[in-house]
Amino acid sequence: MLLPFFSSVVFPVFSLFFPEYTPSSSPSARSELHFELRHSHAVTSAAHVYFSNVGRSNPLRAERQPAFTLRSKDIKTYKPLSAAAYVDARKRSIYRAESEVLHWDEEEVPGPDVESRESLLMLARMTSNAYNEPDSKEWYDLEGNYILNDPIGWKPDADGFRGYVFATPDNSTVILSIKGTSAWVSGGGPTTTKDKINDNLLFSCCCARVDWTWTTVCDCHRGGWKCDQECVEQSLVDDSLFYPIGTNLYNNLTYMYPNANIWLTGHSLGGALASLLGVTFGAPVVAFESPGEKMAAQRLHLPSPPSLQHITHVYHTADPIPMGTCTGVLSSCAIGGFALESSCHLGKVIRYDTVSNLSWSVNFRTHSIVRVIEDILSVPWAPAMLEGREVPEARPQDDCVECYRWEYGNFTK
């Protein structure tokens, strides 16, 4: 069922409280945007996306300015001229190994200002909240006193993606936050199993074949370091619900907010999903501590726009997951059952060198979004400030190599 809680009483309440707020008509090069929490989203069984309205436990507090403030900056994105042409190009690539020239529409849209530390910090908090309910002590209170009206998909036994939808009072800009894999955050929880299969399909070199003791997530290993390319692609396209759920989520959101600019943010697996959706729909993305998703984009045959400047990754060097170094039989990832071997990211990377600059040692515990918020983004970053910036410069990962031991090809079983 589509949007089952869409018509609850929350929207009239909101419009009562923000009648006088008039946004700047067309955002100039840089401007400030205020966001309020609107919905939670979650995926239930059968890959259905549910949106549920978020209310306020104390409506009087809503009279204040909405508390999520972000700087925006115009950026260039590319959107496929038609969604049908995109799907068609992808299908031809998957099923007939034909690539066709897809036409892209270049557009200038307001995106998050990724050179602003405060804006990255705010997005990181929105992302962190995707793990939590508003009444939990981990929730970053952004002054709203929010409550979940109908926490479907948020029960402890719920599985899969979830997060929140934030919007400006005039609905011109909407942010979708997506949570990552729970296991790294608080030692597990029931969403772990499905997340793990998805992670291993998407971010391992060959079906999570770490050594002979591993149960692989697909059957493409052909002995030694040989891996059947067509097979890994097929298993990702066929077996991973990850990308199709994401596209449903995005489509449902554009249905609710037909005229909005949509921004995507997420942590870890949620960040990787945000990025793949950003490639597909030309939406600005800020992904935190995401494992390399470039290989997954190729294996999923996502048509690639002329530029991916609208996708920004933020991670730090002591986190082995985005660095692609949490590998090998004895690594903490492998012990936890994760084979996260990819290291190449799409778009640009803002890399905090916590190993050199803060003397952190490499440890998967630094992967947590809370560490990123509290220990990296909440304070000025001295190495960047020496260069006159607030955050390290965003750069593409040129000449990135991953899975170099593996040979991919057409091997018989």
Q: Does position 275 bind ligand NAG by CB under 6 A? A: no
Here's the x/- map for ligand NAG, 168-207, by CB under 6 A: it reads as: --xx------------------------------------
Stretch that binds ligand NAG, among 131-139, 215-223, 251-259, 393-401 (CB under 6 A): 251-259
Stretch that binds ligand NAG, among 233-241, 249-257, 287-295, 302-310 (CB under 6 A): 249-257
Give the contacts of 106 (CB within 8 A, at least 6 positions apart). 76, 77, 78, 306
Distance in angstroms (rounded) separating the CA atoms of residues 123 and 114: 10
Among 69, 248, 304, 331, binds ligand NAG (CB under 6 A): 248
Subset of 155-174 contacting ligand NAG (CB under 6 A):
170-171
Nearer to ligand NAG, 227 or 392 (CB): 392
Distance in angstroms (rounded) separating the CA atoms of residues 387 and 353: 15
- Strands in 85-237 per DSSP E: 104-112, 146-148, 162-167, 173-178, 226-228
| Shortest distance in whole angstroms from residue 32 CB to ligand NAG | 18
Sign of the dihedral through C-alpha 268, 273, 279, 282:
negative
Nearer to ligand NAG, 38 or 73 (CB): 38
Q: Does position 357 bind ligand NAG by CB under 6 A? A: yes
* Of 265, 271, 268, residue with least CA distance to 165: 265
**How many Å is the maximal CA-CA distance in the chain?**
67
Contact 298, 99 (CB under 8 A): no
- Catalytic, 268? Answer yes
For 116, 134, 185, 368, the CA distances from 374, given in Å and listed in that order, are 16, 19, 14, 10
Stretch that binds ligand NAG, among 76-84, 261-269, 350-358, 405-413 (CB under 6 A): 350-358
Stretch that binds ligand NAG, among 78-86, 117-125, 138-146, 250-258 (CB under 6 A): 250-258
* Of 175, 174, 176, 168, residue with least CA distance to 24: 168
Q: Does position 88 bind ligand NAG by CB under 6 A? A: no
Q: Which residue of the set 93, 268, 290, 368 is catalytic?
A: 268
Q: Does position 21 bind ligand NAG by CB under 6 A? A: no
| Shortest distance in whole angstroms from residue 153 CB to ligand NAG | 12
* Of 270, 350, 276, residue with least CA distance to 317: 350
Is residue 202 classed as helix, strand or coil in its secondary structure? Answer: helix
Provide the binding-site residues for ligand NAG, judged by CB under 6 A.
Answer: 2, 11, 15, 38, 48-49, 170-171, 248, 251-252, 255-256, 353, 356-357, 382-383
Q: Which residues are catalytic?
A: 268
